[in-house]
Amino acid sequence: MKTVWVALLLAAGLLVGCQSTSALNQGSGSSQDPATGMEGHVYRGPVVPVCTENTPCDAPFSGGFVVWKYGIEVARFRSDEKGYFKVALEPGSYTVTLDDKTQVGLPMRQMQSVAVKEGGMTQVTLSFDTGIR
């Protein structure tokens, strides 16, 4: 009976460890400095073939994104229907791409470079090309 309890405790510990790793990959960032990261809005555009003064060329973009550092995935996040997002990250240089389920128009892999600064959330605007011309 004692062996069963030990096995259950070990399994519970593994589940907690997996949950923390999953949370990091969902954009909760590092537990060392959760007050840093990036937040802002994502836009896609152009959304019309000809831009005019009364018709905006870009629109907020709701989708899933992956954050990379040195080619390693470090976080994932989603922007809402207004294009807003917030993701905790340690200070440093990152690359943001669309996740595999999110499409913006052009079939090529689009990347945005972001530098997260120390001392708070870095405000960024991410733009992805739809290919409409």
Three-state DSSP state, 117: coil
What percent of the chain has pLDDT above 90?
54
Amino acid letter, residue 96? V
CB 28 within 8 A of CB 86: no
| Separation of alpha carbons 55 and 1, rounded Å | 71
Summarize pLDDT for 70-100 with one digit per residue, the tens.
999 999 999 999 999 999 999 999 999 999 9
pLDDT at 68 over 90: yes
Question: Which pLDDT does position 133 carry in this prediction?
Answer: 78
Strand partners, 60: 43
Question: Cis before residue 49, ω within 30 degrees of 0?
Answer: no
Residue 13 CB partners (closer than 8 Å, separation 6+): none
Secondary structure element (H or E) that encloses residue 78, with its range: strand 72-78
* Helix, strand, or coil (residue 57): coil
Give the pLDDT band (50/70/90) at residue 19. very low
